[in-house]
Amino acid sequence: MERGRTATEGSGAERTAARQHHGNRHGRSERARQAVLEAADGLLVEKGFTGVTIEGIASSAGVAKQTIYRWWSTKTDILLDAFLQDATEALTPPDHGDLTEDLGAHLHQLALFLTRSDAGTVFTALLGHAQHDPAFAGVLRARYLDEQRRRDRLPLDNAVRRGELPADLDTVAEVDQLVGPIYHRVLVTGDPVDRAFTDLLVDNFLRRHRVR
Amino acid sequence: MERGRTATEGSGAERTAARQHHGNRHGRSERARQAVLEAADGLLVEKGFTGVTIEGIASSAGVAKQTIYRWWSTKTDILLDAFLQDATEALTPPDHGDLTEDLGAHLHQLALFLTRSDAGTVFTALLGHAQHDPAFAGVLRARYLDEQRRRDRLPLDNAVRRGELPADLDTVAEVDQLVGPIYHRVLVTGDPVDRAFTDLLVDNFLRRHRVR
Amino acid sequence: MERGRTATEGSGAERTAARQHHGNRHGRSERARQAVLEAADGLLVEKGFTGVTIEGIASSAGVAKQTIYRWWSTKTDILLDAFLQDATEALTPPDHGDLTEDLGAHLHQLALFLTRSDAGTVFTALLGHAQHDPAFAGVLRARYLDEQRRRDRLPLDNAVRRGELPADLDTVAEVDQLVGPIYHRVLVTGDPVDRAFTDLLVDNFLRRHRVR
Amino acid sequence: MERGRTATEGSGAERTAARQHHGNRHGRSERARQAVLEAADGLLVEKGFTGVTIEGIASSAGVAKQTIYRWWSTKTDILLDAFLQDATEALTPPDHGDLTEDLGAHLHQLALFLTRSDAGTVFTALLGHAQHDPAFAGVLRARYLDEQRRRDRLPLDNAVRRGELPADLDTVAEVDQLVGPIYHRVLVTGDPVDRAFTDLLVDNFLRRHRVR
DNA sequence: ACTTAATCGAGACGGTACGTCCAGTCTTTCG
DNA sequence: CGAAAGACTGGACGTACCGTCTCGATTAAGT
């Protein structure tokens, strides 16, 4: 799949080859790429979103600014790459065949991710930026959110397949009601999101659909 | 009554008096204050959050930069004042004595506010910035969100008073489940929030509590 | 003689009367005037010419800016007033009836004034500013330099009157040759001006005119 | 050879190389440097010392402010560079082997330079600033005045070598007496400095040392 | 005594320039 | 050809003073 110059690039052989040189005719420097992503991540955690600058990244990664501009176009582009590299597999819901358990574990995991992890910090920063930049919001959805929402729906889809839930379930609206309150607390109210709260959400979902 | 530098000042007599002079020991220029708030608002709607700069506000308000810095410390401070001035009373839920109707109207109003109004544009921009600036997040809560959440709870509180809902209802968690999905669509997924969706939320709330 | 609003005002009765009030229809506040002049002087000595600002003078004199602008138009105007108040009588050459002695004492006094006194510091600062502002140069000459040059000529004039020097002596050119080298060292080279040097100037003057 | 940030750079090959690029690792833009110096010069002559601002220079040179701050620290620093570039060789006294003639020509040249030339205007402005800034006074001496005084002494040194003047002549003090009166008229009194006056100075010098 | 008028401290106002930071572009040299 | 280096234009930052203004209080002179 082609994702343009800002993509995290291919994998395997190409990356392995790139790893062996620093700036020559054989493609981009994997070393520089990693240094940039790590520097961006580090700066965000250390100094916050505003403290992340292209110049700061360049100097703290020991990389020329031009090298950054060659592969990325904005600092959020970099942060998104950094985020994707770290966090892609983190939020896949479990599948133990038990809706209650899987849903509870997933929502709890989501809450922990958003409020406790470095990756979550990067992600909420990117969500914040998305409010200021509709184009970036689109990129964020295309490169992460759409996929994540698909993963969020998995427990419901599985349950539908198992016959635990009706086939005509509006999973989009249901997921909104499951994760929406969590995002609301994280992004809007700042209230803590404890296990009791995520379990309440699950419970209400189950009662709504007379499961059990 | 508020006294901080960013306060929107009192109203009535005090403001009328201030309107008569442009800069002396007895108060700031109301003319300059209004021009700044309107310029900030206008720039945000016209050019987006990034396009709002103190210099831009100053020049488009016909005001000296120093005058801005005398009364506000950041552009978000200005935008918050502008937002509060316009939108404070906009989101008060109706009280017709009918929980279903009041709740439905309020959530629909909230969705319209967030997705269709200029004030909503300012507000989501401020929410976005709050993700990058914890201190500002605190200010935003203290100056707007806490009060707004109190208003969001009103329909439930009223119903509790009327005996339609149990007295021990966890209104905070309930409101999270009512408005959370709306904020989620607005801030995260970008999905439209139509009346059917807000009504679904109300419906689920009512079913949850076996009202009717 | 009328010197305009920036003049150091009259003396005697008028000043005494003014001293008794602080701001009323008839006359300025002598207290404010003194405080301004002293503040300006103090700031110059403490922080240098660039460190003297109207705002700095106002705040360190405990005076309103407007009060300053009511009576002076520029900071150099204030400094000139301050200088004139302190230093008017300081540089009058002695008249012992002995040209050699009087001239030697006067030139030495001039050197001390320029290099050692606070008034000299103010004066050289004003001379510096005069290089940047021809209008001020004119004022400085009218209010001080012309008179001072007249005083500088006194020893020669006296000697001419006594018959020690020819009546057709070009005293202007002679004074240039006597004080010019001193100013040159002070303003241009920064070399010290010791008694040996001023005595050399006197000696050469005397030899030039075969006195003794 | 000079290496400081304010240096006028070398000449010849090095400058030729620099002229070919506009900003890269191997040197500054000669185009920008020249434009800044010329703009500063022009603004001084056109609007006076106070009218010279870094922003004014930048905009009239078509150069970014940062480029100026990269290479100079103050406007006087720029003016000094501009002055040195134009005027270094201008004030070398002639050497015809005739003391009277050489001295007369040189002093006359100095007077013309100070009172008539654009370079002289810049120079007196710098001398004025030197009265307000001892550090700059030091720089001005190190970068120009010391060398100029050496040049001013040349006619005397040559005459000493030729045996026309005694070997133990205090050339420093003599030069003070030759040029001091000229500077005095230019910087202090504002009197014109005509050829008669400079010739008088020469004449008095010669008589002082019984030459001829 | 009462009004009038000029002064005072205070401080907000519209501006200009300061010196700094960062954005994004460009040019060169090296490997 | 990519990378490091770093100079370039440009725009916004937040600060310091400028010179102007308006206010409320104070005080003397003229009525």
Inform me whether the pLDDT recorded for C212 exceeds 70.
no
Nearest in space to D73 (alpha carbons), one of D147, D7, D1: D7
Q: Which helix (H) or strand (E) element contains residue D9? A: none
pLDDT in tens, B113-137: 999 999 999 999 999 999 999 999 9
- Residue B91 confidence class, pLDDT cut points 50, 70, 90: confident
pLDDT in tens, D90-115: 789 999 989 999 999 999 999 999 99
pLDDT, residue C4, reads: 37
Smallest Cβ distance to B187: which of A131, A172, A204? A131
Q: Which residues of D touch C180 (CB under 8 A)?
A: 177, 180-185
**More confidently predicted of D131 and D12:** D131
**More confidently predicted of B164 and A21:** B164
C93 token code pair = 């050459």
Distance from residue A20's CA to nucleotide F4's C1', rounded to whole Å: 17
Which residue has its C-alpha nearest to nucleotide F14's C1'?
B69
pLDDT, residue C25, reads: 58
pLDDT, residue C87, reads: 78
Q: Is C170 in a helix, a strand, or coil? A: coil
D34 Cβ partners below 8 Å, 6+ apart?
none
Are the Cβ atoms of B184 and A188 closer than 8 angstroms? no
For C194, phi then psi, to 5°, come to -90, 175
Inform me whether the pLDDT recorded for A21 exceeds 70.
no
pLDDT, residue D20, reads: 39
pLDDT, residue D13, reads: 38
Q: Is D24 in a helix, a strand, or coil? A: strand
Q: Choose the weakest-confidence range: A197-211, B58-72, C3-17, C46-60.
A: C3-17
- Residue D12 confidence class, pLDDT cut points 50, 70, 90: very low
Q: Which residues of A touch B201 (CB under 8 A)?
A: 177
pLDDT, residue C96, reads: 92
CB distance C204 to D208 below 8 Å:
yes
Inter-chain CB pairs, A–B, below 8 Å: 115
Inform me whether the pLDDT recorded for D7 exceeds 50.
no
How many whole angstroms separate alpha carbon A203 and alpha carbon B8? 44
Signed CA dihedral, C92, C96, C102, C108: sign only: negative
Inter-axis angle of helices C171-183 and D195-208, nearest 10: 80
pLDDT in tens, A43-102: 999 999 999 999 999 999 999 999 999 999 999 999 999 999 987 667 889 999 899 999
pLDDT, residue B210, reads: 79
How many whole angstroms separate alpha carbon D94 and alpha carbon C122? 39
| Distance from the first to the final alpha carbon of chain B | 43
CB distance A52 to A43 below 8 Å:
yes
Smallest Cβ distance to D189: which of C50, C145, C188? C145
Inter-chain CB pairs, C–D, below 8 Å: 114
Which residue has its C-alpha nearest to nucleotide E25's C1'?
A66
Inform me whether the pLDDT recorded for C3 exceeds 80.
no
DSSP-derived secondary structure for C29-92: -HHHHHHHHHHHHHHHHHHHHHH--HHHHHHHHT--HHHHHHH-SSHHHHHHHHHHHHHTTTTP
pLDDT, residue D26, reads: 58
D171 Cβ partners below 8 Å, 6+ apart?
D153, D156, D157, D160
**What number of other Cβ atoms are within 10 A of residue A18's Cβ?**
19
Are the Cβ atoms of C188 and D185 closer than 8 angstroms? no
How many whole angstroms separate alpha carbon A49 and alpha carbon A43? 8
Distance from residue C68's CA to nucleotide F22's C1', rounded to whole Å: 17
Nearest in space to C33 (alpha carbons), one of C88, C70, C76, C87: C70
Are the Cβ atoms of D131 and C137 closer than 8 angstroms? no
Smallest Cβ distance to A183: which of B141, B188, B190? B188
Are the Cβ atoms of A207 and B204 closer than 8 angstroms? no
pLDDT, residue D11, reads: 37
**What number of other Cβ atoms are within 10 A of residue C179's Cβ?**
25
How many whole angstroms separate alpha carbon C52 and alpha carbon C43? 6
Q: Choose the weakest-confidence range: A12-21, C90-99, D91-100, D121-130.
A: A12-21
A5 token code pair = 């110059």
Nucleotide nearest to C28 (CA to C1'): E7
CB distance C5 to C71 below 8 Å:
yes
pLDDT, residue D88, reads: 67
CB distance C35 to C63 below 8 Å:
yes
pLDDT in tens, D156-200: 999 999 999 999 999 999 999 999 999 999 999 999 999 999 999
pLDDT, residue A106, reads: 97
Protein CB footprint (7 Å) on chain F nucleotides: 1-29
- Residue B86 confidence class, pLDDT cut points 50, 70, 90: confident
Residue environment code for D128-162, b if the CB has 16+ CB neighbours within 10 A, otherwise e: bbbbbbeebbebbbebbbeebbeebbbbbebbbee
Q: Choose the weakest-confidence range: A135-139, C19-23, C179-183, D154-158.
A: C19-23
How many whole angstroms separate alpha carbon A127 and alpha carbon B131? 8
How many whole angstroms separate alpha carbon D80 and alpha carbon D124? 11
C148 token code pair = 């001072």
Can you list the domains of chain A with their CATH numbers?
Answer: 13-74 (1.10.10.60), 88-208 (1.10.357.10)
How many angstroms from the chain centroid is the CA of residue B28?
25
Q: For chains D and C, tell me whether 3 or more CB atom pairs sit within 8 A of each other.
A: yes
pLDDT in tens, C119-158: 999 999 999 999 999 999 999 999 999 999 999 999 999 9
Distance from residue B40's CA to nucleotide F14's C1', rounded to whole Å: 18
Nucleotide nearest to D69 (CA to C1'): E19
Protein CB footprint (7 Å) on chain E nucleotides: 4-31
Distance from residue C27's CA to nucleotide E11's C1', rounded to whole Å: 24
Which residues on chain D place their C-beta less than 8 Å from a C-beta of chain C? 48-50, 124-125, 127-133, 137, 141, 145, 149, 172-173, 176-177, 179-185, 187-191, 197, 200-201, 204, 207-208
As a whole number, mean pLDDT of residues C91-98 equals 91
How many whole angstroms separate alpha carbon A106 and alpha carbon A112? 10
As a whole number, mean pLDDT of residues B38-66 equals 97
Distance from residue C211's CA to nucleotide E19's C1', rounded to whole Å: 60
Inform me whether the pLDDT recorded for B102 exceeds 80.
yes
As a whole number, mean pLDDT of residues D120-142 equals 98
DSSP-derived secondary structure for chain B: ---STT-----THHHHHHTT-SSBTTB--HHHHHHHHHHHHHHHHHH-GGG--HHHHHHHHT--HHHHHHH-SSHHHHHHHHHHHHHTTTTPPP-SS-HHHHHHHHHHHHHHHHHH-HHHHHHHHHHHHHTT-HHHHHHHIIIIIHHHHHHHHHHHHHHHHHTSS-TT--HHHHHHHHHHHHHIIIIII-----HHHHHHHHHHHHHHTT--
A96 token code pair = 């133990």
Distance from residue B140's CA to nucleotide E25's C1', rounded to whole Å: 39
pLDDT, residue D212, reads: 61
Signed CA dihedral, A29, A31, A37, A42: sign only: negative
Distance from residue D42's CA to nucleotide E1's C1', rounded to whole Å: 67
DSSP-derived secondary structure for D66-119: HHHHHH-SSHHHHHHHHHHHHHTTTTPPP-SS-HHHHHHHHHHHHHHHHHH-HH
pLDDT, residue B11, reads: 36
C137 Cβ partners below 8 Å, 6+ apart?
C130, C131, D190
A177 Cβ partners below 8 Å, 6+ apart?
A201, A205, B177, B180, B181, B201, B204
Q: Which residues of A touch B152 (CB under 8 A)?
A: none
Q: Which residues of D touch C145 (CB under 8 A)?
A: 188-189
- Residue B88 confidence class, pLDDT cut points 50, 70, 90: low
Which residue has its C-alpha nearest to nucleotide E26's C1'?
D23
Q: Specify the amino acid at residue A24.
A: N
pLDDT, residue A88, reads: 66
Smallest Cβ distance to A49: which of B132, B179, B201? B132
Are the Cβ atoms of B187 and A187 closer than 8 angstroms? yes
As a whole number, mean pLDDT of residues A146-173 equals 95
Which residue has its C-alpha nearest to nucleotide F30's C1'?
C25
How many whole angstroms separate alpha carbon C80 and alpha carbon C86? 10
Inform me whether the pLDDT recorded for B25 exceeds 60.
no
Smallest Cβ distance to A187: which of B149, B183, B208? B183
Inform me whether the pLDDT recorded for B22 exceeds 80.
no
How many whole angstroms separate alpha carbon C130 and alpha carbon C140? 8
Nucleotide nearest to A69 (CA to C1'): E24
Signed CA dihedral, D62, D64, D69, D70: sign only: negative
Residue of B nearest to A188 (CA): B127
Sort residue B62 into left (φ over 0), alpha (ψ -120 to 50) or beta. Answer: left
Half-sphere exposure of C165 (CA within 13 A, CB side): 23
Interface test with D, best of C140, C175, C189 (most D CBs within 10 A): C189
Inform me whether the pLDDT recorded for B26 exceeds 80.
no
How many whole angstroms separate alpha carbon D14 and alpha carbon C69? 54
Nearest in space to A99 (alpha carbons), one of A144, A154, A29: A154
How many whole angstroms separate alpha carbon C11 and alpha carbon C27? 13
Provide the mean pLDDT of chain C: 88
pLDDT in tens, D29-64: 999 999 999 999 999 999 999 999 999 999 999 999
As a whole number, mean pLDDT of residues D125-143 equals 98
Q: Which residues of B touch A127 (CB under 8 A)?
A: 128, 131, 187-188
CB distance C114 to C193 below 8 Å:
yes
